[in-house]
Amino acid sequence: MVIDDEKNITLVIQAMLEKAGFEAIVYNDSTKALEAMDGGEDVDVVVTDLYMPGRSGMDVLTHCQKNHAGLPVVVITAHGSVESAVAALKLGAFDFITKPFEQSELLNVVRKAVRTRRQGEKEPVAVLPQQQISSMIGASQLMQDVFKIIAKIAPSPSTVLVWGESGTGKELVAQEIHGNSLRAKKPFIKVNCSAIPATLIESELFGYERGAFTGAVSSKPGRFELAHEGTLFLDEVGEMPVEMQVKLLRALQEQEFERVGGINTTRVDVRIIAATNKDLEAEVKAGKFREDLFYRLNVVPIKLPPLRDRKDDIELLVNFFIQQFNTKLGKKITGIEPAAMEALKGFMWPGNIRQLENVIERMILMADGTVLLPSDLPEDIAPLVVAPDTAAGALPGDGSSASFKDIVRRNTQTVERGLIEKALEETGGNVTRAADKLGLSRKGLQIKIKELGIRRHGDPVE
């Protein structure tokens, strides 16, 4: 969706996007654009001018943040309006483009936004004061320990490395540290290192000068510059190309850098919080991550536990998501049947909190009544529902609906499926690399994939 009060601008942007294979709908009235979105217009990215009569680009951004969580919003600013760009990014804008801009710049930003949208970058937020630190839920001891570390290190300027599997809430930790620091009123700028092509990451971090490369028709500040006096969050830093790690190390050590194509050195005051789902020590030993950069980032390590290790928190999270989706979907779910809750607690959750959030949303959509039932569970979790007689200790052969052997087999298959799907997701569907991660032979993994009926990218596995 393209929003700009100047008709010629929207027509030009629409032509650029459609030539590149995107479907673009345009609005010259921001109010009508928001009404279309609220009415069900399904879009992946919003590109909006910042200054418009009536509802401004900031209004569009705020509305999307409130009513369409996770929808990337790219704002178009006038040349030199860095302050406006920072304000938009702080409110949650995905990125900004400065007028005048080239087609390549627009397409790069839109493609990156689409990738991020599909990766489901947003983490769940929670509101249970007695068991949370601001926006994070956790009554388990593991999460209480995380909260204590955050409280201790937030006021300091020290660099933090947050490690955890995908979906555990790494960005929330970074936001909590920033929000409780002395920099809380300054910018919180994030960069997803895995969503930016290697050829563009330097200009994303450090900015570029006019004429630095084809399409650079004006200068643009990078994320380091925008985060001055605030916090820069480097998400999935383990995906950064080795050649770029050298330049990042220098920027961290010296707090200075040069824009791409520039000769002037820019000094900044930035706190770094990095996050990764990789074992960076293992990456260092494998020669894939610089040892000196690892130690520079690993000043204060915070390890986030996977959901399978904090099952005491599942009930809290489920109840929160029920409240959240009741509001979002206009439902009136009052609770969840105990057997369904126990099945959720018994699942391994390879996708962690993000996966649990998606499951609860699906269950609420499928529910016929006001209570979530075992029949509402997805097919990969449903086998974990234990019949009352089995739960009470009934033995095979005395009338129980499932034998001990059947229950063990189903649980084993569920665990295997979750681990294999997670390994395939992390390796982009590469069976050889996934097999290495799982400690299996390639042929052994192929047999398991076929046995469990796992599909990659929607196609039959060969």
User: What is the helix (H) or strand (E) element at residue 303, kind and residue range?
Assistant: strand 300-303
Q: For residue range 32-70, what is the model confidence (pLDDT) as tens digits?
A: 999 999 888 889 999 999 888 888 888 999 899 888 878
Of the pLDDT bands very low, low, confident and very high (cuts 50, 70, 90), residue 135 is low
Mean pLDDT of the chain: 83
H helices then E strands: how many in the chain? 19, 18
What's residue 279's pLDDT? 92
- Say if pTM beats, i.e. exceeds, 0.75: no
Segment 247-261 mean pLDDT: 90
User: What is the helix (H) or strand (E) element at residue 301, kind and residue range?
Assistant: strand 300-303
Topology of domain 2-119 in CATH is Rossmann fold (3.40.50)
In sequence order, the 6+-apart residues with CB closer than 8 A to the CB of 344 are 314, 318, 336, 356, 359, 377, 381
Residues of the chain with CATH 3.40.50.2300: 2-119
Q: Which residues pair with residue 2 across a beta bridge?
A: 26, 47
Q: For residue range 12-42, what is the model confidence (pLDDT) as tens digits?
A: 899 889 888 889 999 999 999 999 998 888 8
Residues of the chain with CATH 3.40.50.300: 154-305
Range from 156-165, 411-420, 424-433 that averages highest in pLDDT: 156-165
With 50 as the cut, is the pLDDT of residue 394 above it? Answer: no
Separation of alpha carbons 354 and 366, rounded Å: 19
Q: For residue range 409-421, what is the model confidence (pLDDT) as tens digits?
A: 666 777 788 888 8
Topology of domain 309-452 in CATH is Helicase, Ruva Protein; domain 3 (1.10.8)
**DSSP secondary structure string for all residues of 159-185:** -EEEE--TTS-HHHHHHHHHHTSTTTT
Assess contact for 435 and 445: CB atoms under 8 A: yes
Separation of alpha carbons 12 and 19, rounded Å: 11
Topology of domain 154-305 in CATH is Rossmann fold (3.40.50)
What's residue 392's pLDDT? 42
What's residue 298's pLDDT? 92
Whole-number CA gyration radius for the chain: 24
Range from 36-50, 114-128, 445-459 that averages highest in pLDDT: 36-50
Residues of the chain with CATH 1.10.8.60: 309-452
Separation of alpha carbons 151 and 133, rounded Å: 9
Alpha helix locations (H) across 233-347?
Answer: 242-254, 280-285, 291-297, 314-329, 338-346
* Residue 450 Cα to chain centre, angstroms: 30
Beta strands in 188-270 (DSSP E): 188-192, 207-208, 220-221, 231-235, 256-258, 265-267
> 193: buried, middle or exposed (CB in 10 Å: 19+, 13-18, 0-12)?
buried
Written as six digits, the tokens of 319 are 């109840």
